[in-house]
Each structure stands twice: as structure tokens, then as C-alpha cells.
A and B are shown apart, each in its own frame.
Chain A
Amino acid sequence: MNSRISAFLADRLPLKNVENHIKKPLPKHINWLFSLGSMAAFLLILQAVTGAFLAFYYSPSPDHAYDAVNYISKEVLFGGFVRGLHHWGASVLVIVVFLHLLRVVAYASYKPPREMTWVTGVLMLLIVLGFGFTGYLLPWDQKAYWATVVGVKIAGTAPVIGDFVAKVLRGGEEVGAVTLTRFYALHTIWLPWLAFGLIAVHLFFVRYYGSAGTPKNTPEDMRSGKPFYPDQLFEDAVAILILFIVLASMAIFVPVPLEELADPTDASYDPRPEWYFLFLFQLLKYFEGPLEVVGTFVIPTVGFVLLLFLPFLDRKEERTSLLKRPVALTVTCLSVVLIMLLTILGAIAPRLEPVPEQPPAAEQTAPSQETPEKAEEEAVFDFGLD
């Protein structure tokens, strides 16, 4: 039966060519870091699948979103697990994509003829971050609401078109019902189409130019390694299995946060973005007054453009490991250390003590007992109510 189906298909489709293609030998020197791309692809598919299922119970409206997400977590069979996979999957995807990019930089795999593989890859990094930004508004809790208020305002600081862009993103003057539906549409329709289109092009380039391998490969080594199928794919599968076990454990044991319902009047809430945007959040603190746009727009944009066009900036054609490329090594290490440092600083940044809305009555009536130090402290709470 099986062989009859294979024969039927083989008569009609170029299966032999496909088989020859996927059995093509890889470069001789290759290691487990070359599985990161497959891991990212697996995670993207997992996000697409869990997302498609979550959409069964989600309603993109400020009146419903929060209750719907709560309903998924608490009342739908396996709801916590599916939402957990989607939530933690997003974080793990960001990490895997980042490591994948670092691997390509470390081995200079972006050099000719693989520049377009790199460019499509960096565009996908942007899409992954876009998925994150549009996705975490959807539960409509405090974090969702405030991170979006701030995030859209950041886009609004872009010169000339900023205000317009912010209005288009929000669908109006403030974050509300129209913002939620357009973020939902972006998250579930526009970005997935873009992502899968780019993945197709990216994978085409990967297969067309072949894996670059490590810089150790001589021209003779390039076609003398193990075949992609089944050898490399098996290693990828093992890496994916380990990744899946970690992710499934997180989905089971680490509860997905759902904060209070979004409240535009709650000033006691300290807005923080998702961890992978913390470095941008922290960066904003160092640029004051007219320099604000440097942190919100100039550095992120210039950084992204440099990254996107890296293969055209680093013109030396010879591929050597990062350790032998002093400029690339310095820039990469500095960027990585800076991003990690800013992320850590952003994460440990002290929260603002909630300011009482009204000074306690006792302190109002007994000002004579104040020490000068205390008086200074209380100046903060002076609302001119005396």
C-alpha cells in the first residue's frame, strides 16, 4: 500500500530531485549551533499553532479581552498549558533568534554570497519583536495597557511623521478599542503572513546557497560533510525535543502572569515592558529634554539599519572566526554586553514608591514635631491642600 502510494506520487512529482536535494552533503565542520535556525522555525510553528487554538476563545475588545484570557487560563481544558506555551514560547523564541543571529555573526556566515539570507533574517527579527509588542496588549491587563501606551508614544517621538505614526498605530488619540482590534489583526493576520513569507524566502536562500558551516571549512570541506537528511535533521530534532521539554515544563510549572484589568487612572502601577524590550526602556532614561529622540528613535533606528546592512558594511570577503576579526569582535561584544547590561539595569530599576493621594491627617496637624529632613521628604507629598 505504502509503496503504491510512493510510486503514484513519484510518477507525478519530482520526489527524486527533492530527495537528492535534502541529502546534499553539508560542510564538514558544523556544530550544534547550526540547529538554532531549526529551533527558531519550530518555535514559530508552535506559536502559530498555539495561537490558532487560543483564537478559539479570544475576543479583541476592551470589554471582553481580559475576561476571555482569564477564561482560557481557568476554565478551558488545558487552557493554562496552551497559553503557557504561547507566552513562554514567545520569550524563548526571542532568545533562540538572538543566539541564531550571534552564531551567524561569530562565524561571519553573512558574507558573500549569503547577504540576502542575512537581510531576510534580520527582517524576521523585527517581525518577532513585532509579534511580541502586538501580542502582549491582547490580555488587556495593566502591563498590556501601559506598555502599549508607552510603546506607541515612543514611536510618536520619531521626527516629522512620529505623531502621525502613533495615531495610525493606536487608531486614534489614545489606546482603546480600535488599538486592540488593530493589534489583534496585526498579531494574527498581517505579521503571520509576513513571517511565513519571509521564512519561505529565508529557507530558500539557506538551501540555495547551502549552510556556510564554520569558518574552518576549506573549499574542499564545503561539500564533504554529513548529509542534511537524515544526519543534520536528526540533530535538529534532538535539539528541538530538548527545547520542547524545557518549554512544556515552563508552561506547566510557571504560571503565566495576568495582572489586574487595564486601568487608565491607576497611577500606583509601575509600567514595565516585556523583558526583551527592557534594554530600550532603560536606554530612554539617559536622554533628557531635547535629547529624548536620541534614545527613542536615533539609536534604535541606526542600530537596526546597521544590523540590517551588516554584510554590506563588513566588506572583507574572507571568512574567519570572530576572534580573528578585532573590529567585529569589539562591536559585537560591546553590543551584547550593553544590551544585557541595560536589560539587567531595567529589570532591577527600583519601582517608584506609591504616592499617597492625600497626606495622612496626623502629619497635617502636627508640623512642629518634624525634623528638617522629614520636612524635605514630605515636600514631595505637598499638594497645596493646607
Chain B
Amino acid sequence: MTDVPEEGQQRRTFFKIGMAAIGGLIGLAMAIPLVGFAISPAFRKASKKWVDLGIADLLKGSRYKKINYTFSAKDGWVETNKRRSVYVTDQGDGTFQVYSRVCSHLGCLVRWDEGKDQFFCPCHGAVFDSAGNVVAGPPPRPMDKLPVKVEDGILYVKES
């Protein structure tokens, strides 16, 4: 083998490595911002705020009363009215318990059955007792109880 082809071989090897390096560099310089760009909403923390549910006195004696409420919040680039549904129960000691209707399993809306004194989820057969504990079905934890407060006679709930 003469020197010339060997030198040519070296050149070609250099070209191949060079191409891989350039490809890798551009690929990396693109992959980092593009992946960050795509997954960026996952890092956004939802800001939760107190929402007015109604006059506390009017809710006295409520037993698993369904209340739908709306609050204004940012949805991406849009300011929208978000809607939520909860069950409100007067605990008799002047405090209220507010159950989120969102099933702790996979997010369907549970229904309160007055006759059976239980919550039923229409999706995967979850059943919760009146305190929100799992009686049957796949949920991993009890129903979510939302933070509540009464201020100036108004019942507020921290939106879920």
C-alpha cells in the first residue's frame, strides 16, 4: 500500500468523525431547547385561590349539597371561567366539609347516593362512604376534601 491511499483513508476517517461531531452538535443544540419547549407546561405550578361558594348561613344544615362554582383562571394564553363541582356538608359544629367530586382514582365525577349514604363513581366501580373513605373499587386514597374557611359570613373553598 502506498502512502497516498493511506492518507486518503485518514482524510475520510476525519471527515466521518467530523460529520458525526457536527451532526451531534447541531442535534444537541436543537434537542435541548426543543424538549424544554415541549415539556415546559409540566413545570408550571397552578396557583390556587379561594373561591366564594355562597353565604354560610344559607348552607347551614346542608347534607352533601351539590354546588357548582366558577372562577376565573389562566388557561394557557386565555383567561377563562373554569367550572368545578363539590358536595358541601355542614358538620354541625359550625364548620363545613367540602368534598371534591373528582374521583381519586382517575378523575371521573362521583355521585352522592342519599339512600345508600355513599358516593359512587360511574367509571370503574369505586365506592366511598359518607366520610369519603374507600369502600370498594380501585381508588388509591380517600376522596379529596378541599380547604374551607368562613370569612364575613361567606364560605370559601380553595379551588382544586
Contacts and interface: CB of A to CB of B under 8 A. Distances in A.
B33 A82 contact: yes
Nearest to B32: A78
Interface stretch (B12-20, B60-68, B89-97, B147-155): B12-20
A78 B78 CA distance: 20
Main SS at interface, chain B = helix
A234 B13 CA distance: 11
A385 to B, nearest CB: 41
Contacts of A59: 77
B21 to A, nearest CB: 9
Interface stretch (A178-186, A235-243, A282-290, A306-314): A235-243
Contact of B77 (A49, A68, A230): A68
B26 interface: yes
Interface in A207-258: 230-231, 233-234, 237-238, 240-241, 244, 248
A107 to B, nearest CB: 25
B22 A237 contact: yes
A49 B36 contact: no
The size bracket of the interface on A is: 20 to 34
Given A77-B43, A230-B16, A234-B19, A64 B37 contact: no
Contact of A71 (B18, B30, B39, B77): B77
Interface in A35-64: 46, 49-50, 53, 56-57, 59, 64
Contacts of B41: 76
Main SS at interface, chain A = helix
Given A49-B34, A237-B18, 20 more contacts: A53-B37, A57-B76, A59-B77, A64-B78, A70-B77, A71-B76, A76-B40, A77-B39, A78-B37, A81-B33, A82-B33, A230-B19, A233-B15, A234-B15, A234-B19, A237-B22, A240-B26, A241-B25, A244-B26, A248-B29
A79 interface: yes
B38 interface: yes
B37 A77 contact: yes
Contacts of B15: 230-231, 233-234
Interface of B: 11-12, 15-16, 18-19, 22-23, 25-26, 29-30, 33-34, 36-41, 43, 76-78
Contacts of B39: 77
Contacts of B16: 230, 234
Contacts of A78: 33-34, 36-37, 40
A237 B16 CA distance: 10
A67 interface: yes
Nearest to A23: B12
Contacts of A233: 15, 19
Contacts of A57: 76-77
Given A230-B12, A230-B16, A240 B22 contact: yes
Contact of A238 (B12, B22, B34): B22
26 contacts: A50-B34, A53-B34, A53-B38, A56-B38, A67-B78, A68-B76, A71-B76, A76-B37, A76-B41, A78-B36, A82-B33, A82-B37, A230-B12, A231-B15, A233-B15, A233-B19, A234-B18, A234-B19, A237-B18, A237-B23, A238-B22, A240-B22, A241-B25, A244-B26, A244-B29, A248-B29
